[in-house]
Structure 1
Amino acid sequence: MLASVFLAGGWSTLRDPKRVAPAAEPVAVPVAFRIPGLTENPEQLVRVNGAVQVGAGLMLATGRVPRLAALALAGSLVPTTLAGHAWWKEKDQDRRAAQRTQFLKNLSLFGGLLIATADTHGKPSLAYRTQAAAVAGRRSARHARRETSSALTDAAGTLRSMSKNAQQTVARQF
């Protein structure tokens, strides 16, 4: 359920990035300026953000690397919220209240995503398992390092896959 808002919003942004690009420009361009290799074109940046939301939303909804997917969604939510719901800039009291509500909704989503990022589905975390193995002596330190390395390699592969899927999604839109 947490992924649904990102799937709908990301898909909408992918289909019509021109609708949100003007609102995103004040946040997107400074972010792109600070990250080497990132385009400064607001329309492309919101399209990439939409692709991340769709890709990570699907991963979270289907339970594929949910912690990494939740982290990616949390990261995509920050610029979206700052660009789209800057309630402090609104002069009209009704619009200000509406934007504040949307800002707080996104803040709540962000909190839920942070919880999902830390959720291990009842299993001890990798850090706990590594520490327990070293303390209890049931596993050698070498085995623990291999297990950690394997988990990191899996995460890197997932990130590469997410990036490739996002690039393919953006390429199909053109």
Structure 2
Amino acid sequence: MTVVRALARPLLSMIFVAQGVNSIRNPEPLVPKAQPVTDRLVPMVKNVAPAQIADRIPETTVNLVRLNGVVQVLGGLALASGKGRRAGAAVLATTLIPVTVAGHPFWQVKDKDARSAQRIQFMKNLGLFGGLLLAAVDTEGKPGVAWRATHGARAAKRETKRGAKAAKREAKQLAREAKQAARIAKAELNLG
């Protein structure tokens, strides 16, 4: 791991761990902003999620805020520690979407200064989202799973062709040897 990655990951994850802990300990101040988003999002998720998961999704916004906090803490720790860093970054990016829409709806704010402040926070979250997307796809210079799968398939195809050609050569050689053995046997029968 490079020095840049060793510094960047904890720095990027720090806000999520801190906000996640805050959401777990004190969710009530976040509920009014989260309520409109959870009222729309929870029924949609429950409709598409398997029954085992849908039944476990909390109904109250307070519990949803706490659950989001837990996910942010776990994702932040995964990203910061490097253990499950790509999955942690992807999870954090996913949690950031409803948080941004609920927390910074600048399009609904009437006051010009307040709207400007909310727009800045919204764009800051978009920047964090971009950083998380980069962290989610960062393979540290090693080939990703998709590349390895494609490369492995090509190598297998190449080896299969080589094996087929070798088998064809062997079959021709065996056929020649069988013909020669038959000629020798026939010649011996004619002499005998």
Q: Which has the larger radius of gyration?
A: 2
* Structure 2 segments unaligned to the other structure (5+ residues): 1-10, 47-53, 161-192
Measure, in 2, the Cα distance between the counterparts of 1:60 and 1:30.
29
Residue type matched to 2:26 in 1?
Answer: D
> Could you state the TM-score of these two structures normalised by the residue count of structure 2?
0.70
Structure 1 residues 5-61: Cα deviation after superposition (integer angstroms, max 9, x where no partner): 101111111110001011100001211111222233111111100110001100100
Measure, in 1, the Cα distance between the counterparts of 2:62 and 2:143.
42
> Could you state the TM-score of these two structures normalised by the residue count of structure 1?
0.77
Aligned residues between the structures: 141
Measure, in 1, the Cα distance between the counterparts of 2:157 and 2:70.
43
Contact 1:57–1:69, Cα closer than 8 Å, also in 2: yes
Measure, in 1, the Cα distance between the counterparts of 2:139 and 2:69.
27
SS in 2 for 1:64: coil
What is residue 55 of structure 1 aligned with on the other side? 74
RMSD: 1.7
* Structure 1 segments unaligned to the other structure (5+ residues): 142-174
Residue type matched to 2:153 in 1?
Answer: A
What is residue 3 of structure 1 aligned with on the other side? 13
Q: CA deviation at 1:140?
A: 8.2
Q: Which has the higher contact order (CA 8 A, sep 6+)?
A: 1
What is residue 71 of structure 1 aligned with on the other side? 90
Residue among 104, 112, 116 paired with 1:85: 104
Measure, in 1, the Cα distance between the counterparts of 2:21 and 2:159.
47
SS in 1 for 2:18: helix
What is residue 44 of structure 1 aligned with on the other side? 63
